Amino acid sequence: MAGHNGLGGSGRRAPRAWLYGGSRNGFGAADDSGGLVPHIRRVAMLSVHTSPLDQPGTGDAGGMNVYIVELSRQLAALGIEVEIFTRATSGALAPTAELAPGVLVRHIDAGPYEGLSKEELPAQLCAFTHGVMQIWAGERPGYFDLVHSHYWLSGHVGWLAAERWGVPLVHAMHTMAKVKNAALATGDTPEPAARVIGETQIVQAADRLIANTAEEAAELVRHYDADPRRTAVVHPGVNLERFRPGDGRAAARARLGLPPDAFIPLFAGRIQPLKAPDILLHAVRELLDADPSLRSRLLVPIVGGPSGTGLARPERMQKLAARLGLADLALFRPPVAQAELADWYRAASVLVMPSYSESFGLVAAEAQACGTPVIAAAVGGLPVVVRDRDTGFLIDGHDPADYARALRRFADRPGLSERLGAAAARHARGFGWDATAADTLAVYRAAAEARRFARAGAGLGSV
């Protein structure tokens, strides 16, 4: 179905930035109708709780870090300067760091450098906001044209900054407390009421909300009473230069020292109940119980570090593997740089992503761009990223037996990985960050145009 995967009937990708409750692109096409398009020169990008310079896959660093880095780089390529404000986590950090030409990272002192969990950060938002305002006060008037905040903590800083500077606020939730709480993994901790209240306030305050998928936009409307006319859908992207099939599976396995003929289901991501790597291990146990002969050619890499509630029991997955009799098959590796991560994707027979909640699923998109099919939970944005039975398989629910059946398809038919992987690589080519940046810029301009009209209307009303 065309609406399911974002493709029109011709097979070409349809325009991806559109207002959830509006027209095709939702922006009034001011440039097509002869009106002036608002000029965005410099954006303040806010990421309080995690730095774009952190290694994805551990701590609180994950898909959002990748999102901010790649989006900022592409915006800079379009001629827009981006300054990213994030909390300093070490006294050794320089006040500023250049991420890329046109992209500056500013480290803000707010609370102790180390030992603060994400749950403790709300108490530091005043200090963080003060640091942002101090930097702004040292610049000329009108220095920033727009604020783009990421995650609810940043949204509160962005709300105050945008009001003080008289510029639009564009906010991206990335995850939502009400959505996460509705699909908690066993043993996971619910998001607190304070976050729910904070998110509700940001939804009402933002000039525009950016959702990764139409499903996420619908959740914003359903759970937070978001205005559909101010909610835009922009799919995240994939770095298609880094994540590509390259020289193939055999070469990637040789570089990583993996057996050339093994069946390798891969998990890559943060090790926490939300991401459900335990389901993969339980599924492998069921697979072996059904066919013990697979053991001689099976290897299960788990690439990533503890995060979130997983930090409380960092050895949980290793202990589970031992308890299930899989200690000799499970290969635990810490987070790796993206160039090496691409090799892990290429080396895998299939990526397994049994998450309880995903706003989009960048890991699945990256793996597919490398030519690797995906077995994923049919949650959040994953049905947009993974085309069921074409680039992989979507699983309803989190029963390990269902994942074991999907794994058995690949184990029994080695050619399936190649066939679905080729389709996956083609599908992923529609998710370039250049398109994401162009669509995001359209959202920025729409927010600026709406604010300009509102000011003009207020002026007429006072006459």
State the binding site for UDP-N-acetyl-alpha-D-glucosamine: 55-56, 63, 270, 275, 336, 358, 366
Helix (H) or strand (E) holding 445: helix 433-461
Phi and psi (nearest 5°) for 170?
Answer: -110, 130
Binding-site sequence positions = 49, 55-56, 60-65, 118, 151, 175, 195, 270, 275, 336, 345-346, 348, 358, 366, 372
Neighbours of 463 (CB within 10 A): 4
Give the residue from 97, 142, 70, 62 showing the smallest Cα distance to 355. Answer: 62
Which residues, listed in sequence order, are joined to residue 352 by a DSSP beta bridge? 375
Contact 379, 410 (CB under 8 A): no
Binding-site sequence positions for Mg(2+) = 345-346, 348, 372
Query: What would the two tokens of residue 202 be?
Result: 């940001």
Binding-site sequence positions for 1D-myo-inositol 3-phosphate = 49, 60-65, 118, 151, 175, 195
Phi and psi (nearest 5°) for 159?
Answer: -60, -50
Helix (H) or strand (E) holding 440: helix 433-461
Q: Which residue is associated with the tokens 């020289």?
A: 247
Written as one string, the DSSP assignment of 196-222 is: HHHHHHHHHH-SEEEESSHHHHHHHHH
Contact 380, 359 (CB under 8 A): yes
